[in-house]
Amino acid sequence: MLEEGRSEEELFSFLSLKKGEDSSYHHVLSSMCTIPHPVAARAHQMFLEANLGDPGLFRGTAEIEALLIERIGDLLHHRRAGGYATSGGTESNLQALRIFRKMKASSRPNIVVPESAHFSFEKACDILSLGMRTVPCDDSFRMDADALQEAIDADTCAVVAIAGTTEYGVVDPIAAIADIAHDTGVPLHVDAAFGGFVIPFLKQEIPFDFSLEGVSSIAIDPHKMGMSTIPCGSLLVREPSWFDLLNVETPYLTVKQECTLAGTRSGGAVVGAFAVLEYLGKSGLAAIVRGCMKNTKRLITGMETLGYRRAVTPDLNVATFHADHVPPGWRVSWTRRGHMRTVMMPHVHLSVIEEFLRDIGDNNAQ
Ligand code: PLP
């Protein structure tokens, strides 16, 4: 800590310098976050001091959180789902498993996940002392539903399916998985942290939400394809009363009990998320998804013309390739299987993709 504070001017010139060292998102094809929508930024700014950890003091913000959950519930075909705004997919996945662990009378509970599951499940299993059983994926990197049945046993407290995998942007066969979950009486948690704001707007209908009887809970993140400010995820569950299992007494707050993981929670990000959904509506979100999918197709065609084969045909705006180098100045990432991975977020405009194709093509020619 400095003995005497710095001048504002000097401080902000230091901060500008550091911001200059960050990536501007312009040549970033690896991120599942994006530049927040201006409406989200404006709304966030307006509610900067609002703490949802003490909702009695911020009644308006708490009402907006309830509205946000209602809007998302409506999108996911269950208007009366229980839910709250989390800090992101990791917290949503952890909290869902915490509920299902508490429901299960077992001294050695386990969960069953596809091998493509996000690493947040590894953290959740560690924190909750859950065994993690992994089901292999098929050639299209989707969970092999036939292998699922064998992995479930009497100690299984939840099955997880992914609606939009982080690495390949594919959706597991959730209808088949939901049937198995329903028949075996095991809750199914759907991780739609990335795909939740994409799948409802695709031309092709892919069942993944509460319209499937076997689906018990869904993680869906506004701070990814919902274009809100960070941090804002959300967890929705079929029965609102399930959250009671997580309640602890909160003697010194304006509410008596709390089921959330964090105490202090950003009201600004939650209002930002609500504002974007309200501003864009379904038609606005659909237009954004259409653009991202068009750009994904363009990148795949362009890359294949240059001789880089796709690893898989994605359901969502993630494209992966058999490629071993990236042109200088670009950020892509690599999957566990060694494929080049790109995500066509809203900041990845068509002009950016054409520029990337030119650069990787030139690189190829050298
Ligand atoms: N689940 C999926 C499918 C993801 O893609 C991610 C992050 O990319 C997460 C969960 C974790 O989300 P967060 O980083 O917001 O905690």
CA of 185 to the centre of ligand 1 (A): 27
Both structure tokens of 252: 């010194």
> What ipTM does this complex have?
0.99
DSSP readout, 61-78?
HHHHHHHHHHHHHHHTT-
Q: Which atom of ligand 1 is nearest to the CA of 166?
A: 5
Both structure tokens of 232: 């804002």
Report the pLDDT value the prediction gives residue 351, as an integer from 0 to 100. 97
Report the pLDDT value the prediction gives residue 365, as an integer from 0 to 100. 67
Report the pLDDT value the prediction gives residue 237, as an integer from 0 to 100. 98
CA of 265 to the centre of ligand 1 (A): 19
CA of 193 to the centre of ligand 1 (A): 6
In the structure, how many helices (H) and strands (E) does the chain have?
9, 12
Q: Which atom of ligand 1 is nearest to the CA of 223?
A: 15
Q: Which residues contact 242 (CB under 8 A, 6 or more apart)?
A: 82, 99, 103, 217
Report the pLDDT value the prediction gives residue 252, as an integer from 0 to 100. 83
Instruction: Give ligand 1 pocket residues (Cβ under 6 A).
Output: 32, 88-90, 118, 120, 162, 166, 191, 193-194, 221, 233
Q: Which atom of ligand 1 is nearest to the CA of 88?
A: 15
Report the 10 Å Cβ neighbour count for 5: 9
Looking from the CA of 47 toward its CB, the CA atoms found within 13 Å total 28
Q: Which atom of ligand 1 is nearest to the CA of 164?
A: 3
Asked if 234 contacts 83 with a C-beta cutoff of 8 angstroms, the reply is yes
In angstroms, the CA 315 to CA 313 distance is 7
Both structure tokens of 326: 């990236």
Handedness of CA 275, 280, 282, 286 (dihedral sign): negative
DSSP readout, 18-56?
HHHHS--STTB-S-S--PPPHHHHHHHHHTTT-BTTSTT
CA of 229 to the centre of ligand 1 (A): 15
Domain boundaries, the chain: 22-36+281-361, 38-278
CA of 263 to the centre of ligand 1 (A): 21
CA of 348 to the centre of ligand 1 (A): 19
Beta strands in 65-213 (DSSP E): 82-86, 110-114, 131-135, 156-162, 188-191
| ∠ CA 93-94-98, rounded to 5° | 120
Q: Which residue among 87, 115, 221, 315 has the greatest number of ligand 1 atoms within 8 angstroms of its CB, and so is best to mutate?
A: 221
Report the pLDDT value the prediction gives residue 254, as an integer from 0 to 100. 85
Report the pLDDT value the prediction gives residue 366, as an integer from 0 to 100. 66
CA of 89 to the centre of ligand 1 (A): 5
Q: Which residue among 30, 90, 121, 227 has the greatest number of ligand 1 atoms within 8 angstroms of its CB, and so is best to mutate?
A: 90
pLDDT in tens, 242-293: 999 999 999 888 888 999 999 999 999 999 999 999 999 999 999 999 999 9
**What's the CATH class of domain 22-36+281-361?**
alpha beta
Report the pLDDT value the prediction gives residue 269, as an integer from 0 to 100. 98
Q: For the chain (length 366 residues), average pLDDT per consecutive 10?
A: 97 98 94 97 98 96 98 98 98 98 97 98 98 98 96 98 98 98 98 98 97 98 98 98 96 90 97 98 98 98 98 98 95 98 98 97 76
Residue minimizing CA distance to atom 11 of ligand 1:
89
CATH number belonging to domain 38-278: 3.40.640.10
Residue minimizing CA distance to atom 9 of ligand 1:
89
Asked if 92 contacts 193 with a C-beta cutoff of 8 angstroms, the reply is yes
What's the pTM value of the predicted model, to 2 decimals? Answer: 0.97
Report the pLDDT value the prediction gives residue 58, as an integer from 0 to 100. 97
